[in-house]
Amino acid sequence: MTSQWQSCRKCETLQQVEVFPALFRENVPGQSGEAILIEGESSCFYHPEKRAALPCQNCGRFVCALCDCELHGQHFCPACLEVGRTKGKIKNLENHRMLYDTISLALAVLPIITLFFWFATIITAPAAFFTAIWYWNAPTSIVRRTKVRYILAILLSVVEMAGWFFFIYSLVELRRV
């Protein structure tokens, strides 16, 4: 990748232009499906007149070279690739994820930070604890993250729940006296 600063011809402001090597590569033509030459040969699910190249690794349908969609060494048919993208079944196609570690940490910390809502920890502390435990093995982020947020959320929520336990226990003991 090369980058240069150039001035605009109209407004004379400096602009950085980045040119990637793919701009200079030759376009590689896509593969077209081969016609069936022998009777009884496997055909493509989507193009019955084309010879099947390989099966889809998700549904098992035979696809021709034209319909073959390769993704990280796996081969999918167009329908499975679309379903995988829309329903999130193929993790390599995700462009966003729910950050449960951040949610559980926020449930544990935000009521304490906003001093007016500290009493909400009676609800948010167990919610933070169970969210952290339930989603411990869920993918954290598209960008690699550690489990530190989960650990902090669990520790803070346990401290908050213990505080509520001792508070309620002391109220009960005070009533007995």
Summarised one tens digit per residue, pLDDT across range 96-114 is 778 999 999 999 999 988 8
Residue 1 has pLDDT above 50, yes or no: no
Q: What is the pLDDT of residues 10-63, one digit of tens each?
A: 888 888 866 656 556 564 455 666 777 677 678 888 888 888 888 888 888 888
25 token code pair: 């590569």
More confident residue, 25 or 170: 170
- Residues in the chain, overall count: 177
Instruction: Give me the mean pLDDT over the 77-100 stretch.
Output: 79
Please give the pLDDT value at position 163.
94
Name the percent of the chain lying above pLDDT 70.
84
Helix (H) / strand (E) element for 19: namely strand 14-19
Q: Which residue has the tokens 């001093």?
A: 115
Instruction: Count other Cβ atoms within 10 Å, centred on residue 49.
Output: 10
pTM of the full structure: 0.53
Structural tokens at position 91: 């993790």
pLDDT at position 16: 81
Q: Higher model confidence: residue 126 or residue 83?
A: 126
